Amino acid sequence: MYVILKTSDILKFCYMKDANSIKNLKLIENLLFYLFLLGNLVPLFYSYYVGSLDGPKHLQIANIIKELLSGNELFAKYFELSPIYTANLFGNYFIALLRFIFPAWLSEKILLSFYVILLATGFRYLIYSITEKPNLSYFLIFPFTYTSLFLMGYYNYSIAFGFFFYTVGYYIRNYNNMNILTVCKFMILILLTYYSHFFVYIFLLGVLGALTLNAILFEYKRKGVFELKALVNRISKVILAFSPSLILSFLYLRLILKQPVSEEGNLINRLADLSELRILIGFVHTEELPMTRFLFLTLLALVVFTLIVLISKYFVKRNNNPNENTFNNEKLVWSFFVVFFFGLYFLMPNNLNASGNILPRILIFAIYFLLVWLSLTRTPFWINIFIVAAILYYGITNYPIHVKYRQQFDKLIMEIKTIEQELPANCILLSKNYMDNWVMYHFQTYIGTDKPILNLYSQSISPLFAINWSEARPLSFVGAKYAHDFTEVYNLPDAKGTFFSEYIAILGKSEFDNLPETNELKTLLLRDYKVRSDIQNSLLTLYQLDIMDDIEFIMDSITKDQPYFEKLKHKALSTGLALEDVKLREAIWLYDSNK
């Protein structure tokens, strides 16, 4: 009760008019903001790993980057760093560089903390770039930090918004006085947004373009004439700042357009998803829904109140001075953004080239711009009390739900990670997941995030992301079968070098055991691998390759068969492959044919 009363005193104090009060107000608002920011970080620190759908893939990619930067020869045979124009890689490199110092769980935790701080401070920076006297509606960015996409592990997309806010805010503050230094800083912020996520970058172009057009028209309306020289000077500096990212984006966009249009993804009811704020539901719908509905009603109440205030001011000003311009230019342009993004949400398809589930991404944009719009209208102190109380209530009620499930996932991840201790460094692994839980779909990828273990089932290896398969990768086998029958790595006919998946890790014992005996992988495991019975793990079964004695025996027999051996020598010369590779592949084929 004491805290609530003190909060009330602070917010009432915000409306005192003397200079000392205004100065103290700024200090109090700063303190309140950073207390909320600190509180918003707390849920991340109740577990080691922040289990999510795509989180383990980020850790896996980061570990591959680390090994490539370290000169690991095995990883260099299979993977290559994507070209400099590739977007969507900031988070991967951030974790990779941290991995030279910290373990995977702590590297991820630092990245997520960076995101929470970046988003909140960036949003505040944008608000103060637009107006010097916002109301506390901008504090609503705190509950909207933990969006469903962030909770699902879409780290690059989430981080991009922090850079987006800083970039737009910086542009607003420096549009009229661009110099070489400000152009360079602006360029860096644009590139950071680009390298965080291409989708957010595209909308950054649109938003900055609209703000520029608005500034030009507003200046013309104020002066009644275009100052062409000054206008060209400003626009040329903006274009200069965008030039590097535009060149990069042209190259990257060519790659995207080559990709097929993704499936629609989840079928969603757009109005229901908005009214329930499902973009904040990350774990269990029924448990989180009461609070997300509460937050939606809070937003709706603030929107209605703001509209009433604006309409009232419009008619008061119009009646007092019919010739006065009653429209605030700032509110008008941000109103346009709100209408535009909500219009996209209701009209746009849910898929694009190489990307599905577009609508939740658009809705996040729409909500963020709505929060900006709400923050531009001065409101009574009791509204600010209501906002702060609503945020506290939401956090105290909903965040423990997130923590509960994170802790459950953390226990599972820690058990999965124990398999790393049983695997030698620089071994080749195939991990498969059969657990019936969509959040855990990629949890097998946690194996090899702290150790150089090459996982053939790496689903984020793509020219669109930070790491791509090397064109010079070796021919790979799972047992005596081609690896591409079971993994994401596709064999090339002229591949040099021959490697086996030395280990196979199966996550989801009971689900795998219930598969029919005719299952291809199950049959292969029984034939070419043996269970590591010395390993006790309730979630995983580890298999080790068990055909090398047979393969070596066949290779010896081939060497002793002189006519056969001469044919293989001729084949090696004609194909340019090493004789040992040709002999090994022949032995694998003979083994597989006779089984």
* Contact between residue 161 and residue 144 where contact means Cβ atoms under 8 Å apart: no
Distance CA 46, CA 354 (A): 35
Residue 217 CB: number of other CB atoms within 10 A? 12
Residue 320 CB: number of other CB atoms within 10 A? 9
Give the pLDDT of residue 24.
Answer: 65
Higher pLDDT among residues 161 and 137, named by residue = 161
C-alpha distances in angstroms, 309 versus 305, 321, 468?
A: 6, 18, 54
pLDDT (tens digit, 9 = 90+) per residue, 274-328? Answer: 999 999 999 999 999 999 999 999 999 999 999 988 888 766 665 555 444 433 4
* Contact between residue 430 and residue 73 where contact means Cβ atoms under 8 Å apart: no
Question: Collapsing DSSP states into helix, strand and coil, what is residue 156?
Answer: helix
Give the pLDDT of residue 492.
Answer: 83
* Contact between residue 286 and residue 404 where contact means Cβ atoms under 8 Å apart: no
Q: Judge residue 38's burial from the number of C-beta atoms within 10 Å of its C-beta, 0-12 exposed, 13-18 middle, 19 or more buried.
A: exposed
Residue 267 — very low, low, confident or very high, per pLDDT cuts 50/70/90? low
What does the radius of gyration of the chain's CA atoms come to, in whole angstroms? 29
Q: Which of 257, 289, 279, 280 is nearest to 361 (CA)?
A: 279
Question: Collapsing DSSP states into helix, strand and coil, what is residue 476?
Answer: strand
Q: Which of 541, 544, 543 is nearest to 416 (CA)?
A: 541
Give the pLDDT of residue 355.
Answer: 67
Question: What's the whole-number mean pLDDT along residues 111-127?
Answer: 97
Q: Kindly tell me the number of DSSP H helices and DSSP E strands found in the chain.
A: 21, 12
Distance CA 195, CA 178 (A): 24
Question: What's the whole-number mean pLDDT along residues 135-157?
Answer: 95
Lowest mean pLDDT among 4-13, 17-26, 67-76, 81-90: 4-13
Q: Judge residue 560's burial from the number of C-beta atoms within 10 Å of its C-beta, 0-12 exposed, 13-18 middle, 19 or more buried.
A: exposed
Give the pLDDT of residue 101.
Answer: 97
pLDDT (tens digit, 9 = 90+) per residue, 351-384? Answer: 775 566 789 999 999 999 999 999 988 888 889 8
Most confident of 161-170, 323-332, 456-465: 161-170
Give the pLDDT of residue 491.
Answer: 85
Question: What's the whole-number mean pLDDT along residues 544-551?
Answer: 96
Evaluated on CA atoms 531, 535, 540, 545, the torsion sign reads negative
Residue 147 — very low, low, confident or very high, per pLDDT cuts 50/70/90? very high
Give the pLDDT of residue 206.
Answer: 94
Question: Collapsing DSSP states into helix, strand and coil, what is residue 214?
Answer: helix
Establish how many alpha carbons lie within 13 A of residue 581's alpha carbon, considering only the half-sphere containing its beta carbon.
18
Share of residues in the chain with pLDDT > 90 (%): 70
Question: What's the whole-number mean pLDDT along residues 119-147?
Answer: 93
Share of residues in the chain with pLDDT > 70 (%): 91
Residue 260 has pLDDT above 80, yes or no: no
44: which strand partners?
none
Write down the residue that tokens 């590297």 correspond to. 107
Residue 5 — very low, low, confident or very high, per pLDDT cuts 50/70/90? very low
Question: What are the tokens at 328?
Answer: 């605030």
Give the pLDDT of residue 7.
Answer: 47
Residue-range domain boundaries for the chain? 2-406, 413-594
Give the pLDDT of residue 256.
Answer: 87
Question: What's the whole-number mean pLDDT along residues 129-152?
Answer: 92
Q: Long-range pairs for 289-297 at CB < 8 Å and ≥24 separation?
A: 291/394, 291/397, 291/398, 292/398, 294/390, 294/393, 294/394, 295/143, 295/390, 295/394
Residue 589 has pLDDT above 60, yes or no: yes
Residue 18 has pLDDT above 60, yes or no: no
Q: Which amino acid type is present at position 108?
A: E
Higher pLDDT among residues 588 and 459, named by residue = 588
Higher pLDDT among residues 26 and 241, named by residue = 241
Give the pLDDT of residue 595.
Answer: 74
Question: What's the whole-number mean pLDDT along residues 241-270?
Answer: 83
Give the pLDDT of residue 348.
Answer: 86
Question: What's the whole-number mean pLDDT along residues 64-82?
Answer: 97
* Contact between residue 429 and residue 447 where contact means Cβ atoms under 8 Å apart: yes
Residue 179 CB: number of other CB atoms within 10 A? 9
The angle, 0 to 180 degrees and rounded to 10, between the axes of the packed helices 155-174 and 198-223 is 20
What average pLDDT is seen over the chain? Answer: 89
* Contact between residue 55 and residue 431 where contact means Cβ atoms under 8 Å apart: no
* Contact between residue 234 and residue 186 where contact means Cβ atoms under 8 Å apart: no
Distance CA 341, CA 355 (A): 18
